[in-house]
Amino acid sequence: KVRGYRIELGEVEEALKQHAQVKEAAAVVRGEGQEKRVEAYVVAPGAEAAALKEAVRQRLPEYMVPSAVVVLEALPLTPNGKVDRKALLASEAGVPEQRQHIAPRTPTEHALAGIFSEALGVPRVGIHDDFFELGGHSLLATQVVARVRTELGVDIPLRALFEAPTVLRLAVWLQGSDTEGATRDCVALQPEGAGTPVFFVHAVGGAVGPYRALARRMGRERPLYGFQAAGLDGREPPLEQVEALACRYVEAMRERQPEGPYVLGGWSLGGVVAFEMARELERQGQSVALLVLLDSFAPDENAPTREPDGALLLAGMAMDLARTAGAESTLRPEALSGLSDEEQFAVVVEHARQAGWLPPEVEASTLRAWRDVTRANLRALAAYRPGPVRCPVLLLRAKDAQRSQAVEPSHGWARWVPSGLTVEDVPGDHYSVLLEPRVETLARRLVEHVEAATERHVEAGQQREG
């Protein structure tokens, strides 16, 4: 394990070998305790280490990306022809200088570096070190925000860390950014480009982390924003109605982009909220060029509205968090039966730590906030009843998903889309569709559909004017 994560060195090596210039690759774990890190050694004539590292980042979760990639003329071999990993570990000569470590200079930078270091379990953090490249994720980000509030007295939104993930950038953000306003929930996952922005809504867990790889893969021609749920940072209670979520996010969307045409969507529950957002935009007289439902299901009108069972909720949350991290949770609701709420919660935390997908740095209070958000979102979903939309709607189904029962081909959406629903399959199951390497296909298809939809909208406008 490295920083609480299970690392498969073979997967790192295979990811490197996918690069056309890499002929051989070997990955090793160097250091002890909190200083453990993954390093990779490759035979790749003419290749640049930085480009190879970025290639791995495109294929694997951030925590599996090597801290260093070293290009060698040949890998050392043992007498029987296997890679001599001991020789690699013994040699420091080939390890290039990392991005120059620049220590914090101001009191704010010192405070932020200390907060990053403690949250990530790393010995030191420079002002240019990226929180997510060091192994950070959405759960740990909520802790950083809470610590900034406590130690610096500044109430920053969770989106700040996604938009300014280094000590230097976050320090600058603290000096000049308005921390309030409607855009508090709207995270600029990829802020560049002049094309029509794309807005994606969080799933049941409330975080935008699952969209980071998609934002990177969709390129820099258009911005991509993610809406995160209120309550993740413990600052306010979560909302419990889809309509309330939709109104709040539409307000934030129109702060970023005052007029349509809009492109929006969401994965899983996020698709349901995005659907209601499209309805709200149409009520406001705005045009929606495309609504994307990523493996999302319309609510069942015949399903009884009931309070989520505590054991099912926690077991489901464990599964959701684990799969989002590319792992599996073996926790079953039966293991929680007969226990009090706090006892159930303690079992989940212990299970998650032992399984390795919840690093020891994540505090129980952070997980409690996520539980509360998940419960609120499930309540909202259970009570919501959709109505029709006029805009173009694209349903992307995860073709490799293993469903427990037969699924209606349109996932229940066809009746609410009188103009016609476009349905396509994309590789992956409900979770891996957003993970490398399958997210590459998803991103490419989304770019094609977004470009076609915005072109159709422009042509329709020209015809009306003509």
Q: Which regions of 101-191 does DSSP assign to beta strands (E)?
A: 186-190
Q: Which two tokens stand for residue 198?
A: 């794309």
pLDDT at residue 80 above 60?
yes
The arithmetic mean of pLDDT across residues 326-338, rounded, is 82
Closest alpha carbon to 70 in 49, 90, 85: 49
Taking the C-alpha atoms of residue 148 and residue 112, their distance in angstroms, rounded to an integer, is: 7
pLDDT at residue 325 above 70?
no
Binned at pLDDT 50, 70 and 90, residue 181 comes out as low
Closest alpha carbon to 290 in 417, 380, 400: 417
Q: Which two tokens stand for residue 127?
A: 């002002």
The arithmetic mean of pLDDT across residues 264-280, rounded, is 98
Count of C-beta atoms within a 10 Å radius of residue 354: 9
Q: Which CATH class is domain 101-180?
A: mainly alpha
Output the pLDDT for position 96: 43
* pTM listed for this prediction: 0.74
**Residue 110: strand, helix, or coil:** helix
Q: Rounded to the nearest 5 degrees, what angle is found at the Cα of 206, between the Cα atoms of 203 and 208? A: 80
Taking the C-alpha atoms of residue 245 and residue 38, their distance in angstroms, rounded to an integer, is: 41
In angstroms, how far is the first alpha carbon of the chain from the final one? 64
Report the DSSP pairing between strands 421-426 and 393-398. parallel
Higher pLDDT, 452 or 232: 452
Taking the C-alpha atoms of residue 390 and residue 288, their distance in angstroms, rounded to an integer, is: 9
Contact 423, 410 (CB under 8 A): yes
**HEC states along 294-316?**
ECCCCCCCCCCCCCCCHHHHHHH
Q: Which two tokens stand for residue 444?
A: 């490419």
H or E element, residue 416: none
pLDDT at residue 360 above 80?
no
**Residue 26: strand pairing partners:** 41
Contact 253, 200 (CB under 8 A): no
pLDDT tens for 196-207 read 999 999 999 898
pLDDT at residue 15 above 70?
yes
pLDDT at residue 286 above 90?
yes
> Exposure of 28 by Cβ count < 10 A (0-12 exposed, 13-18 middle, 19+ buried)?
middle
Taking the C-alpha atoms of residue 337 and residue 317, their distance in angstroms, rounded to an integer, is: 16
* Residue 344, φ and ψ in degrees, nearest 5: -60, -45
pLDDT at residue 432 above 50?
yes
pLDDT tens for 401-427 read 887 777 899 999 999 999 889 999 999
**Residue 40: strand pairing partners:** 27, 69
Contact 145, 58 (CB under 8 A): no
The arithmetic mean of pLDDT across residues 115-121, rounded, is 87
Taking the C-alpha atoms of residue 320 and residue 369, their distance in angstroms, rounded to an integer, is: 15
Binned at pLDDT 50, 70 and 90, residue 91 comes out as low
**CATH assignment, 9-90:** 3.30.300.30
Binned at pLDDT 50, 70 and 90, residue 94 comes out as very low
Q: Which regions of 183-261 does DSSP assign to beta strands (E)?
A: 186-190, 198-201, 224-227
pLDDT at residue 178 above 60?
no
Read off the DSSP letter of residue 184: G
Q: Which two tokens stand for residue 448?
A: 């094609």
pLDDT tens for 292-309 read 999 999 998 776 666 667
Taking the C-alpha atoms of residue 171 and residue 92, their distance in angstroms, rounded to an integer, is: 34
Taking the C-alpha atoms of residue 358 and residue 1, their distance in angstroms, rounded to an integer, is: 12
Closest alpha carbon to 458 in 219, 196, 223: 196
Binned at pLDDT 50, 70 and 90, residue 164 comes out as confident
CATH architecture designation of domain 181-299+384-463: 3-Layer(aba) Sandwich (3.40)
pLDDT at residue 163 above 90?
no
The arithmetic mean of pLDDT across residues 242-261, rounded, is 95
